[in-house]
Amino acid sequence: MKIAEIVSFLESFAHPSLQESYDNSGLITGDSRWECSGIMCCLDSIEEVIKEAVEKNCNLVVAHHPIIFRGLKKINGKNYVEKSIITAIKNDIAIYAIHTNLDNVVNGVSGKMAKMLGLSNISVLSPQKEHLKKLCVFVPTENAIEVRNAIFEAGGGYIGNYSECSFNTEGTGTYKAEQGSDPYKGIIGRQHQENEHKIEIIFPGFLENKIVSAMKAIHPYEEVAYDILSLSNAHQKIGAGIIGEFAEALNENDFLNRVKLVFGIKIIRHSEFRNAPIKKVAICGGAGSFLISNSLLSGADAFITADIKYHEFFDAEEKILIADIGHYESEQYTIDMLQEILELKFPTFAVLKTKVMTNPVHYF
């Protein structure tokens, strides 16, 4: 199997266009044309993990955090980033990072955290705008069903929890085939009228090429009349953070004890107790202080994240319980998630999890 096949699958799960502007997700070292001998999943592709991959005959390391986050002017092994890159290149190890694009999908990092906690009624906490587009295409009425289905099969027509969504209007189209054309119907040099459907279907912008290719492949016209419109609507399954609910409310002590148990931690930094039940919970894996206001607006009783600064705990304003569980601790199950989705897609292929503890933070 080529590394390109694995990369293609990962990007269908969390497309690179969903990453934040500051990020560096994607293939960092290696060649996608290489045959893949095995996959090692991790949070951080540090030198110890690269050496582990070499020992386990895995020439593809799939990491959450990009080992190269900022530009490198020299690579001489003076820090952990350069050491990791040198070791990877020397041993022909490909490193693929799937970072904020994996944070920004509903079944990504925060979604995995919500699943581990047992939350239901899951949705994106802060849906992103400008990821949606709309295709409007004019089709002979007799071909409308098969063209619609082709667009659906290519990934179009999803609105929230509904699939195969479209709007259709009937009308009359006209055209006159000129010399050199091969008209579906009509006579060259004479205007033709055709009963047509205008089909309108929403799709994620990163699927545009796939959607248009699928539509054209099944469309009967030699020249297809269609429009692509960019929408400002929020995509309900793309964005930062997750919000969900417990089946039954917990008191604050039981809630924090449950968080400790699920994430295997002994210490939680948190804001002042409100002496209020916890039922609706907002979550953001990694550094999530930018979502405190969204958590408040959502009506969440608690917000679980990491890397909260001193003054940011004041933002709770006695309206929400903010719980900082640690960056690594919040994202640790991302490794399991990567292994799970890769094994599901490639059940006969070697997909391993690192045994190296990469958390740089220790507690005394």
* Contact assessment for residue 286 and residue 20, using Cβ atoms and an 8 Å cutoff: no
By C-alpha distance, which of 320, 324, 305 is closest to 274?
A: 320
Give SS3 for 216. helix
Contact 226, 215 (CB under 8 A): yes
The mean of the pLDDT values for the chain is 97
- Alpha-helical (H) ranges within 15-142 are 47-55, 80-90, 100-103, 109-117
The DSSP code sequence of 293-361 is: HHHHHHT-SEEEEE---GGGGGGGTTTSEEEE--HHHHHTTHHHHHHHHHHHHSTTS-EEE--------
pLDDT, residue 160, reads 86
Specify the DSSP class assigned to residue 206. G
Contact status, residue 338 vs residue 41, Cβ threshold 8 Å: yes
| Tally of CB atoms within 10 A around 230 | 10
Sign (positive/negative) of CA torsion 62, 65, 69, 73?
A: negative
Residue 136 DSSP symbol: E
User: In whole angstroms, what is the distance from residue 276 CA to residue 259 CA?
Assistant: 17
Q: Which of 281, 315, 318, 325 has its CA nearest to residue 301? A: 281
Spatial distance between the Cα atoms of 189 and 177, rounded to a whole number of angstroms: 6
Res 161: pLDDT: 87
pLDDT of residue 70: 87
Q: Specify the pTM.
A: 0.92
**pLDDT given at position 48:** 98
**Between vectors from CA 248 to CA 246 and to CA 254, what angle results, nearest 5°?**
85
CA angle 245, 250, 253 (to 5 degrees): 130
Residues of the chain predicted below pLDDT 70? none
pLDDT at 50: 98
Helix (H, G, I), strand (E, B) or coil at 44: strand
Which tens digits make up the pLDDT trace of 296-354?
Answer: 999 999 999 999 999 999 999 999 999 999 999 999 999 999 999 999 999 999 999 99
Beta strand residue intervals within the chain, DSSP E: 26-29, 39-44, 60-65, 94-97, 120-129, 132-140, 167-176, 191-204, 226-230, 234-250, 269-270, 278-287, 302-306, 321-324, 351-353
User: Quick check: helix, strand or coil at residue 261?
Assistant: helix
Q: Supply the pLDDT for residue 288.
A: 97
